[in-house]
Amino acid sequence: MTGKKIKFFSSIHFKIALVFTLTLVVTLELIGAVFIRQLERSSLASFRQQITLPAYVNDALVQQLEGESGGSKINSDIHTVLTAVNNSSITDIEVIDAKGIIRGVSDINNQSVVGQKTTDANLRAALSNSKYSKNPIEKKGNKRYQVIVKPLVTSTDGNSTVVGVVKVTANLEAVYDSLQQISTLYFSATLLAIALGIVMSLIISRALTKPISEISERTTRIARGDYSGEIIIRSRDEIGELGKNVNLLAERIEETTNSTEFERRRLDMVLGHMTDGVIATDRRGMINIINSSALNFLGIESLNEGDQRSIIQVLKIEEEYSLRELLEDTGEITLDFSTQERPLILKAYVNLLQRSSGFISGLVVVLHDVTEQERINEERRQFVSNVSHELRTPLTSVKSYIDALQDGALEDQTVAHSFLTVAQNETTRMIHMINDLLELSRMDQGRMKLNMEFVNVGELFNYILNRFDMIISSDDKPEKTYSIVRDITTAPVWAELDTSKFTQVIDNIMNNAIKYSPDGSEIVVSMHENEHHVILSITDQGLGIPKKDLTHVFDRFFRVDKARSRAQGGSGLGLAISKEIIEQFHGRIWAESVEGKGSTFYIALPFEPDFEAEDWDEGAWDDEA
Ligand code: ADP
């Protein structure tokens, strides 16, 4: 898949050049062979033409031989005829008579053979009218000679008679030399042509293969994911078409890759922004997708690519489930991932990842944080158990008093009276508690009716505190005495609240301050404002609240000391109701305390800085209070 460099000898570039060159060589060789052969033939033919004796010489020879009687006169006449032949190409002319006797030789140096019988079989065959070769090539030493054998014939009355044979011999070396020269020239030209052919074929095949190399390079780059650069189309042939298609292909792949990439990023975004954890696995249960919420829930830093982690292992359910069980029995699993720092209960919803063919390609597990839900459920359970418990104690005591009365205590007037008082107190307490519970339930359901109005908080606060002062100064003194020290701003501060509910809250905190303080102690109340809030505080000198319980005192049924609180008639719901009310006013309530020294309860309420005093109806709360 990578762009491995192709060796020159394996390349198409080389192969095309090789085929081209071989074709050229074979063609030139064939043409050369035929041409040389043809040239040789035609050269020899024209040479033969050139050395053929003119007809009158033949005729003269026939005349001499016809009338011959074997005298030497004829021989000298023949010699005269032969020497008259003026042809420089001819080496020798030899004439034999019908008996095969050599009668004349043109070569002066060879006159001794005249009169001798010829040894040449071919000549004798020509004489006897049997098969002979007309133009044989003879070799003497290393020289070649063209021979023309011509029977000398007379014809009388239509009968022809061979009277002799003339043999012309001519040296062929000049012809062969020129043939040799031509072939040498041809050979050099061929070599040059081949050399040029190789160069040209290399150039042409380069031109052919270059676009292919470009296409190959481009496809390699595409495979690497680099879609840049375009193949330049230089020709309109098949390769040009291929280049065009590759360009088109690259465009399509880029588009597809981009859209896949976009889809992937979108999926990542969706998964990344989900508060639920999502894990997807392959068939073997190995995780291939996990979002940040899931990583967070499971306390995993990150899953690098190639990190093979099994879902079973990551969810820490190896002991309860095998992968097979998980695949077969999809549904919900509750997982406890609580640590010392934080509680964490997860619901894992396991689903199969199925293709349309039904093939199971993995699992998708959605992790949902149900800690809060579980906490609420737990609180609810706790609440029901608390209510039952709270009611059972007074009911049991009422029942036991009634039983005692029935068993005879009724007879004793004083005992009966005190028993009935206890029963009455307990019942009153239960009614109080049930009323408190009903009020809380109304708040929970959002059914609490509030009469919201703008109130001068300082005045209302003073008004409520005045009532507490009056309780001690009245003739009917309470069991416990106390004094209230006020530090309240005189400037009017307006806040929107429901006066009766506000009064209920202050009453509750004041009652607690008195309840949980020793007799005759001081209660310091203050009211100040900061930029946005008016802050009220009530500080007692009581037994205080342990640090760990400071936030819990606002929980339903919470009591620091259950027995004592209950003995003092507390239901443990007062502060819980107060908190709900203050939150309805968009305020905040909290407590600070030093154990054994006392506690401070704070209320912060948002105030209205621009409120006009005329809008306020002064005696508004008198009737309600
Ligand atoms: P209760 O009816 O029991 O007083 P509250 O909801 O009013 O119920 O108070 C819850 C608990 O908070 C009390 O039982 C008590 O233990 C503690 N608490 C409230 N106010 C004070 C205080 N001023 N000093 C000490 N403890 C207090």
Q: What is the 3-state secondary structure (H, E, C) of 326-388?
A: HHHCCCEEEEECCCCCCCCEEEEEEEEEECCCCCEEEEEEEEEECHHHHHHHHHHHHHHHHHH
Alpha helices of 230-291 — where are they, by DSSP H? 238-272
pLDDT at 1 over 50: no
Mean pLDDT of 29-57: 91
CATH number at residue 433: 1.10.287.130
**92-149 pLDDT tens trace:** 999 998 888 998 898 888 888 888 998 888 988 988 878 999 999 999 888 999 999 9
Angstrom CA distances, 39 to 11, 31, 180, 377, stand at 41, 12, 11, 117
Mean pLDDT of 254-261: 90
Q: How far apart are the CA of 572 and the centre of ligand 1, in A?
A: 7
526 and 434 part of one domain: no
162 and 296 part of one domain: no
Mean pLDDT of 300-322: 85
409 and 551 part of one domain: no
Ligand 1 within 6 A of 565 CB? yes
Nearest CA to ligand 1 atom 8: 572
Q: How far apart are the CA of 124 and the centre of ligand 1, in A?
A: 162
For ligand 1, mutation pick of 507, 575, 581 (most atoms within 8 Å of CB): 575
**353-373 pLDDT tens trace:** 988 898 989 999 999 999 999
Q: Is 221 a member of any domain?
A: no
Residue at which a domain ends, from 130, 149, 178? 178
Nearest CA to ligand 1 atom 7: 574
492 and 610 part of one domain: yes
Ligand 1 within 6 A of 521 CB? no
Mean pLDDT of 591-606: 95
Per-residue b or e along 247-263, where b marks 16 or more CB atoms closer than 10 Å to that residue's CB: beebeeeeeeeeeeeee
Which of 3-7, 372-376, 535-539 has the weakest average pLDDT? 3-7
346 and 404 part of one domain: no
How sure is the predictor about 625, in pLDDT bands with cuts at 50, 70 and 90?
Answer: very low
Question: What percent of the chain is predicted at pLDDT more than 90?
Answer: 42
Ligand 1 within 6 A of 540 CB? yes
Q: Is 1 a member of any domain?
A: no
Q: Is 183 a member of any domain?
A: no
Bridge-partner residues for 48, per DSSP? none
Ligand 1 within 6 A of 460 CB? no
293 and 419 part of one domain: no
174 and 65 part of one domain: yes
**523-547 pLDDT tens trace:** 999 999 988 899 999 999 999 999 9
Mean pLDDT of 292-298: 91
pTM: 0.52
Q: How far apart are the CA of 559 and the centre of ligand 1, in A?
A: 6
Mean pLDDT value across the chain:
88
Q: How many CA atoms lie within 13 A of 418 on its CB side?
A: 4
538 and 402 part of one domain: no
Mean pLDDT of 502-512: 95
Q: Is 299 a member of any domain?
A: yes
Ligand 1 within 6 A of 558 CB? yes
Q: How far apart are the CA of 565 and the centre of ligand 1, in A?
A: 7
293 and 356 part of one domain: yes
Range of the domain at 104: 54-178
Write the DSSP string, 99-140.
Answer: TSBEEEES-GGGGGGTTSBP--HHHHHHHTTS---SS-EEEE
Q: How far apart are the CA of 570 and the centre of ligand 1, in A?
A: 8
Q: Is 547 a member of any domain?
A: yes
**185-244 pLDDT tens trace:** 988 998 999 899 889 888 888 888 888 888 888 888 888 888 888 888 888 888 889 889
Q: Is 483 a member of any domain?
A: yes
Q: Is 232 a member of any domain?
A: no
Nearest CA to ligand 1 atom 13: 559
549 and 612 part of one domain: yes
Q: Is 521 a member of any domain?
A: yes
Q: How far apart are the CA of 561 and the centre of ligand 1, in A?
A: 9
Ligand 1 within 6 A of 542 CB? yes
Q: How far apart are the CA of 520 and the centre of ligand 1, in A?
A: 19
580, 442 Cβ separation under 8 angstroms: no
CATH number at residue 360: 3.30.450.20
Residue at which a domain ends, from 115, 145, 178? 178
Angle between helices 72-84 and 55-66 (to 10 degrees): 180
For ligand 1, mutation pick of 428, 512, 540 (most atoms within 8 Å of CB): 512
328 and 398 part of one domain: no
Residue at which a domain ends, from 444, 474, 504? 444
Q: How far apart are the CA of 575 and the centre of ligand 1, in A?
A: 7
pLDDT at 616 over 70: no
pLDDT at 3 over 60: no
358 and 288 part of one domain: yes
- Number of structural domains the chain divides into: 4
